[in-house]
Amino acid sequence: MNSTQLKTTFRDIFEAQPEQAFFAPGRINLIGEHTDYNGGHVFPCAITYGTYAAARKRDDNLVRLYSVNFPDKEIIEFDLTQLEYDKQHHWANYPKGMIRYIKEAGYDIPQGFECVIEGNIPNGAGLSSSASIELLTGVLLDGLFNLGIDRLDMIKIGKRVENEFIGVNSGIMDQFAIGMGKKDAGILLDCQTLNFQYAPIKLEGYKILIMNTNKRRELADSKYNERRGECEQALSQLQQRLSIQALGQLTEAEFDENQNLITNETVRKRAKHAVYENVRTLKALEELKAGNLEAFGKLMNQSHISLRDDYEVTGVELDSLVEAAWKQPGVIGARMTGAGFGGCAIAIVENEQVESFIANVGAAYQNKIGYPADFYVASIGDGAKEIQLGEFE
């Protein structure tokens, strides 16, 4: 991605020079999957793939948006007084929702603007391109109009856009990781309280590889609701004896002592994953603080096994990628990331082995599944921010 191209595109589309530029990353979750709605912790980080924007203010009330990723949609245009969801406006509903809710929160957006957006997050990979556009719009409005929006408020507005404006019932992790990301650090986030701390991730000699199954996650929504229901059932049975509000409050020992309260074996396995995965996430923080990357990798592997066997959200595509990854030299750990049933897995791989890893895992996946996977080498980067017009990667 380079600023000259974006500036050139802006000039071509709007016949003017952009005034300011902004960036919001995508995210991966390193460990702590399906723990967020169980009162547990997640451990995401921002990545250096993301969404870029060049923008300038207008003298009227019009907002004019163009995406390099959706050129067939051409310029999408609306007035600052017309901020209702509009199916025809496709991707631009994400920025529109942000404008609407930021205005509703009492911030003054006195005039319109025009903006060119370009993202390099792989589509449908589960790296959260929608939250990236939301936070990109947040920092863009903040920067263009000097609004002084508190970052946590911006993150909550992004989640509200996702839940209420778009209608997707997701948690706060994506917006939080994208809004609060920090170079070379993971974020241990308590999804209930929003307390968080950064953990150093020193990957000297290693790379994070994102492996995209290229399978759309069509099962994820229905199974997601099913798993939530199973966890709620487990919680209500445990509450017969334990005064807890969420599965994430239990230690492994407390769960083991009381698991017989859960009458259904499948439901018991779901709850076990929620409890053990949350504990793994807390252990991950300690291991990384101590610089134990190998121990962190083992926790990643255990996480995938639990998601495969106890939570049953992986599927043959993710399992094929991860199990092939485990066999490669120089791999510290590998697991699925995201909701499951497609989407992506991640691996931590020695620099020298990256090329052979991609060749070997790619061949194993193609042989088993019949179509190719895509691989991306990622770095852990900063959260959403204004950048210099000459600062694109």
Q: Annotated active-site positions, please?
A: 174
- Give the C-alpha separation, 56 to 112, whole Å: 9
- Angstrom distance (rounded) from CA 169 to CA 196: 22
Please give the helix or strand (H or E) that residue 11 lies within, else none.
helix 3-14
Distance CA 134, CA 350 (A): 34
Q: Which two tokens stand for residue 316?
A: 């043959």
Q: 190: which 2 tokens?
A: 């308590």
Residue type, 360: N
Provide CB contacts within 8 A for 1, sequence distance 6+. Answer: 52, 118, 120, 392, 393
Answer for the pair 346, 335: CB distance below 8 angstroms, yes or no: yes
Contact partners, residue 233, CB within 8 Å, separation at least 6: 262, 264, 267
CA distance 93 to 161: 9
Whole-number Å distance between alpha carbons of 201 and 333: 14
Angle at Cα 193 formed by Cα 294 and Cα 94, nearest 5°?
A: 90
Distance, CA of 393 to CA of 381 (rounded, Å): 12
